[in-house]
Amino acid sequence: MKASRDQIMSDVLGLLRKLSDDWEYTGEITPQTRFFADMGLGSLDVVILGTAVQEHYKQVFPFVELFAQVGQRALPDIPVGEWVDFIHQHLADDGAGAAAARGAR
Amino acid sequence: MTPRRTVLLGLDGATFAVLDPLMRDGVMPFLADFVSTGVRGDLQSVIPALTPPAWTSLTTGRSPGHHGIFDFFCKESAESHHIRIATARDVHAETIWTLADRHGLRTTALNFPLMFPAPRIRGCVVPGWMPWRQMRLGCHPPELYDRLKQLPGFNARELAMDITPEAKPVQGMRPEEYEEWVVVHIRREQQWGRILQTLMREEPSDLTAIVFDGVDRIQHLCWRYVAPPDEPLSPAGERIRQRCLEYFRELDRMLADVVALAGPEATIVFASDHGFGPQTGTFFANAWLEKQGHLAWADPDVPRASEPEALGIEQLARHSYLLDWEKTRAYAPTPSSNGVHIVRRGPEHPGGVGDDEYEGFRRRLADELRGATDPASGRRIVSRVWTRDEVFDGPFKSLAADLTLELADGGLVSILASDAPFMSRAETSGTHRRNGIFIARGPGLERGLRLAGLSILDVAPLLLHSLGLEIPAEMEGTLPAGAFDPASPHAPTARPARPAAVAHPQAVATPVTEEALFTREDELTLAQRLRDLGYID
């Protein structure tokens, strides 16, 4: 069984909150927090985060498609919640992701 | 054989063309002494002579077709025109780090490219080419980053690839900014030096390795000041040169400290991933392909470059929708590796080159490229063209460019549209050459010897020999037995021969402005952040 959306949200928020201490970002990070406008990340930061997610769940995600879609918007940005939804949607239903998620908690 | 403490000191882009005068003139006295008591030689890099494939070849002993890294970026598949940033997961050959770990040895590896995600080995890893906000994610073990933060003078923005200073060479700088930029790199190397020495003292490894990459960055921007000047510099130019010399003096002091810390019984190897030389112009490869009728832009009014320094770094990945894929048959996807890819016919590319016409098309295109001339001077632009089959072997060669170019000035291509396929630069900058450096000293190695014919693929076997490990049969490089005193007990027992089936990469001069890959982030607006990767207009 693959990790639930809540599990993924918990993992992602935990990761971002830990990293944001290094960025000296003092705002609250919630599912509505946007990567670029709120946290001030750059595109390479998001690529690295995507790689970390892939490493965590031992699976390749089509993040390039997500970026392409986001890039067509009037305000191109990615809220944390949308990032989590994307991961949840594409997470393989083979138990590997679930195991990784459990191991990380 | 008992493992000896082994230290690899990488100097990205270092060339004897610069180091020899600096050693002779007393700017780098430690290195001068080291060279006189060790083995030195030119180190032939791979094709393309570019940081990611070259360091990966040095640390795997395999050529790009075998390890799979040809650029900072990789194609999603051989048929795809989509590219993405390459990571450690794209390295398909065993590295000296994991090999040492499998034999129970400990490694410290700092600032090498393609090390994220970091290998979970005995020892410490801080990958290179990480954005500063994500450095914690790259460190192994995970708690290492908190230790680094406690070091005096720690500044993640300067230690990592912070964008603002790295973008400056591309955007243009005033002379006074050049000086400041060099000073930033002095501080940056000091930070890496502190980390290295701290780890060497507190938890010494069997294999310790680091890349100091300021040499490359400074030479890209300041080549005309770093290289021995042909004519007297202006007062402003002389000030910049003095700052550059200060960088090399500081580097020399740091190297002396590290080598002293390693101890007299250690094997010390200096190596660079490629050499350096001047670049005087820019070849707009896609603009030239358009004029030849091989490429079409989706929008005929696509913006045209007007500056020779505009290489199109910020356009990376955007070619996927900037080009008309029904009409384009050849294109250059990146300005980093001077590769031209031929579009093969398929569902995504109905107008591509069919299997039956591929060989003929590739041959004609190579001939056309060899004949390309600068209309202003009448000089040829391209000095050599290699087919994929000529220079790459191995299971991943299908990901390589169909044609790889060496430009007459050793420079790199621009991928932008332009009315003029070639533009001369107002000021000479620096760019990659194939001849890097090799200097080594340690038990069993000759003293004061110049060695010829060294390949970057030979470094991994030498390091493994020093560590007392067997050299895997699949490694394409060979132990440079000529570097050893035959009477020494540390010399290899039999002089190994290079495998007959393995040809060394033949030649290249494919430079890149690596510093430009992460451009302008801090100045970008919200939309520009995605534009940086080419996902939006």
- For the segment B394-440, what is each residue's pLDDT rounded down to a tens digit? 999 999 999 999 999 888 899 999 998 998 888 888 889 999 999 99
Q: Give the H or E element holding residue B91.
A: none
Nearest-by-CA chain A residue for B321:
A68
pLDDT at B264: 94
Closest partner CB to B133 (pick from A19, A55, A76): A19
Percent of chain A with pLDDT over 70: 87
pLDDT at B204: 97
Tell me the three state secondary structure of residue A25.
coil
Percent of chain B with pLDDT over 70: 87
- Are B526 and A71 inside 8 Å of each other by CB? no
- Are B532 and A45 inside 8 Å of each other by CB? no
User: pLDDT band at residue A46, thresholds of 50, 70 and 90?
Assistant: confident
- Are A47 and B117 inside 8 Å of each other by CB? no
Average pLDDT over every residue of B349-363: 95
Nearest-by-CA chain A residue for B533:
A43
- CA B344 – CA B75 distance, rounded (Å): 14
User: pLDDT band at residue A69, thresholds of 50, 70 and 90?
Assistant: confident
Supply the mean pLDDT for chain A. 83
Nearest-Cα distance to chain A for B526, in Å, is 6
Quick one: which of B365, B387, B412, B447 has its CA closest to B170?
B412
Residue B493, pLDDT > 80, answer no
B518 touches chain A (CB under 8 A): yes
* Helix residue spans in B47-174 (DSSP H): 51-60, 64-67, 96-102, 135-138, 144-149, 156-159, 163-171
Tell me the three state secondary structure of residue B115.
coil
pLDDT at B268: 98
Looking at the DSSP bridge assignments, the partners of residue A97 are none
Nearest-Cα distance to chain B for A84, in Å, is 19
Percent of chain A with pLDDT over 90: 37
Nearest-by-CA chain A residue for B156:
A22
- Are B518 and A44 inside 8 Å of each other by CB? yes
Average pLDDT over every residue of B113-117: 94
Residue A97, pLDDT > 50, answer no
Quick one: which of B374, B392, B396, B391 has its CA closest to B383?
B374
Nearest-Cα distance to chain A for B363, in Å, is 34
pLDDT at B238: 92
User: pLDDT band at residue A43, thresholds of 50, 70 and 90?
Assistant: confident
User: pLDDT band at residue B103, thresholds of 50, 70 and 90?
Assistant: very high
- CA B73 – CA B537 distance, rounded (Å): 20
Nearest-Cα distance to chain B for A12, in Å, is 13
Q: Chain A partners of B163 at a C-beta cutoff of 8 Å? A: 42
Average pLDDT over every residue of B146-163: 88
Residue B384, pLDDT > 50, answer yes
Average pLDDT over every residue of B354-367: 97
Q: Which is higher by pLDDT, B137 or B533?
A: B137
- CA B528 – CA A43 distance, rounded (Å): 9
Provide the pairing of β-strand B403-407 with B339-342.
antiparallel
pLDDT at B79: 84
pLDDT at B140: 97
pLDDT at B534: 38
Average pLDDT over every residue of B298-311: 83
User: pLDDT band at residue B529, thresholds of 50, 70 and 90?
Assistant: very low
- Are A22 and B117 inside 8 Å of each other by CB? no
Average pLDDT over every residue of B4-16: 97
Average pLDDT over every residue of B245-273: 98
Residue B154, pLDDT > 70, answer yes
Q: Chain B partners of A71 at a C-beta cutoff of 8 Å? A: 530-531, 535-536
Residue pairs spanning A and B at CB distance below 8 A? 83
Residue B104, pLDDT > 80, answer yes
Q: Which is higher by pLDDT, B395 or B160?
A: B395
Residue A103, pLDDT > 90, answer no
pLDDT at B461: 97
pLDDT at B37: 96
Nearest-by-CA chain B residue for A75:
B527
pLDDT at B249: 98
Q: Chain B partners of A22 at a C-beta cutoff of 8 Å? A: 133, 135-136, 145, 156
Nearest-Cα distance to chain A for B520, in Å, is 10
Longest dimension (CA), chain A: 39
Q: Virtual CA dihedral for B147, B148, B154, B157, nearest 10 degrees?
A: -130
Average pLDDT over every residue of B67-78: 89
Supply the mean pLDDT for chain B. 87
User: pLDDT band at residue B162, thresholds of 50, 70 and 90?
Assistant: low
Quick one: which of B6, B12, B35 has its CA closest to B106?
B6
Nearest-Cα distance to chain A for B519, in Å, is 10
Residue B166, pLDDT > 80, answer no
Closest partner CB to B137 (pick from A36, A44, A52): A52
Average pLDDT over every residue of B28-40: 98
Nearest-Cα distance to chain A for B537, in Å, is 8
pLDDT at B460: 98
Quick one: which of B447, B378, B370, B337 has its CA closest to B46?
B337
User: Hey, what are B257's tokens?
Assistant: 């400290």
User: pLDDT band at residue B496, thresholds of 50, 70 and 90?
Assistant: low
Tell me the three state secondary structure of residue B46.
coil
Residue B374, pLDDT > 80, answer yes
B145 touches chain A (CB under 8 A): yes
ipTM above 0.85, yes or no: no
* DSSP line for B298-341: SSTT---B-STT---GGGTTTHHHHB-TTT--EE---SSS-EEE
Q: Chain B partners of A19 at a C-beta cutoff of 8 Å? A: 133-134, 136-137
Which of B134, B140, B154 should one mutate to test binding to chain A, selecting the residue with the greatest count of A CBs within 10 A? B134
User: Hey, what are B176's tokens?
Assistant: 């006074």
User: pLDDT band at residue B467, thresholds of 50, 70 and 90?
Assistant: very high
Average pLDDT over every residue of B521-536: 36
This prediction's pTM: 0.89
User: Hey, what are B68's tokens?
Assistant: 């799979």
pLDDT at B308: 77
Nearest-by-CA chain A residue for B518:
A44
Which of A17, A24, A48, A58 should one mutate to test binding to chain B, selecting the residue with the greatest count of B CBs within 10 A? A48
- CA B310 – CA B317 distance, rounded (Å): 16
Top mean-pLDDT range of B50-54, B158-162, B307-311: B50-54
- Are B133 and A41 inside 8 Å of each other by CB? yes
Average pLDDT over every residue of B146-152: 96
Beta-carbon neighbour count of residue B74 at 10 Å?
Answer: 18
User: Hey, what are B146's tokens?
Assistant: 């908190």
User: pLDDT band at residue A94, thresholds of 50, 70 and 90?
Assistant: low
Strand segments, DSSP code E, in A26-98 are none
Average pLDDT over every residue of B336-364: 94
User: pLDDT band at residue B457, thresholds of 50, 70 and 90?
Assistant: very high
Provide the pairing of β-strand B275-284 with B73-75.
unpaired
Tell me the CA distances in angstroms from B257 to B6, B193, B253, B262, one per residue in order.
Answer: 15, 9, 6, 9
Top mean-pLDDT range of B31-35, B156-160, B219-223, B226-230: B31-35
